[in-house]
Structure 1
């Protein structure tokens, strides 16, 4: 019988916490990198809107991953009602700086969002990724269940 994979050790000096006002520039660079991965270039007002939402922390939330104080990863998430279960936590954006990848940052961000969702009495944490995102899917397959749903979208 094969042993399940073990979680990698968290990198030394890794902390997860809220974004700070001084993080704005680096956060925007990371968020731009996330959007570039998906072929999007976002206008400045989208960054301004998201930052304002994260600052109030009422509708949308964000966390920062730091290694030795340097911002190397971000996660954005929100909760929404469900007709069939407790509220759900949707992990909308997750991005790790290229130099920090493979070091447990993404896993630590997911774990922290999951812990937060439990404190909010959510019934699940879920997210989506593109089927071609093999690097991220290797992690996601270790920490979550792929239930096989296909997402349809109508751009407005």
Structure 2
């Protein structure tokens, strides 16, 4: 990668170049093979990016005509703020783009989008074993100290 990446909103024509990044992100978190997301989840996620009634958005990093990273984020209401909060749901870069500032550029672009939308905060979570990403996250955000609990219902 020699070009400085362009960070931009996703467009419908990006699907074929976005899908390998999405698949890579899901594989990274163990959602592949027999545990892969059903195709309808991918299709619905993609459709939400282009639905004005959905609070879900996507940015991509592009360099040399190739998509090398993605950031999916959404806005939601909270009981502790009047303006919607911004949740950075997914962040992923291609292996060849890692360590070259692409992840940071995508995070900074989400920050800019959140500011423009009037959101007072951007937050996200990562797996405790994802120490490589945490090295970046510790530079661009504060750890909240919260522990996530969940239960499938």
Structure 1 gaps of 5+ residues are 1-10
Match of 1:124 among 110, 121, 124: 121
Q: Say if 1:30 and 1:95, in contact at 8 Å, map to a contact too.
A: yes
In structure 2, C-alpha distance between the alignment counterparts of 1:22 and 1:84, rounded to whole Å: 38
In structure 2, C-alpha distance between the alignment counterparts of 1:17 and 1:112, rounded to whole Å: 8
Q: State the partner residue of 1:20.
A: 11
In structure 1, C-alpha distance between the alignment counterparts of 2:139 and 2:42, rounded to whole Å: 31
Q: Say if 1:32 and 1:42, in contact at 8 Å, map to a contact too.
A: no
Secondary structure at the residue paired with 1:32? helix
Q: Say if 1:77 and 1:89, in contact at 8 Å, map to a contact too.
A: yes
Structure 2 gaps of 5+ residues are none
In structure 2, C-alpha distance between the alignment counterparts of 1:13 and 1:143, rounded to whole Å: 20
TM-score (structure 2 length as normaliser): 0.91
User: Residue 32 in 1 paired to residue 28 in 2?
Assistant: no
User: Residue 44 in 1 paired to residue 39 in 2?
Assistant: yes
Map of 1:1-150 to 2, 5 A cutoff?
12-40=3-31, 41-57=36-52, 58-85=54-81, 86-150=83-147
TM-score (structure 1 length as normaliser): 0.89
For the aligned residues, what is the CA RMSD? 1.2
Structure 1's consecutive aligned runs of 4 or more residues displaced over 4 angstroms after TM superposition are none
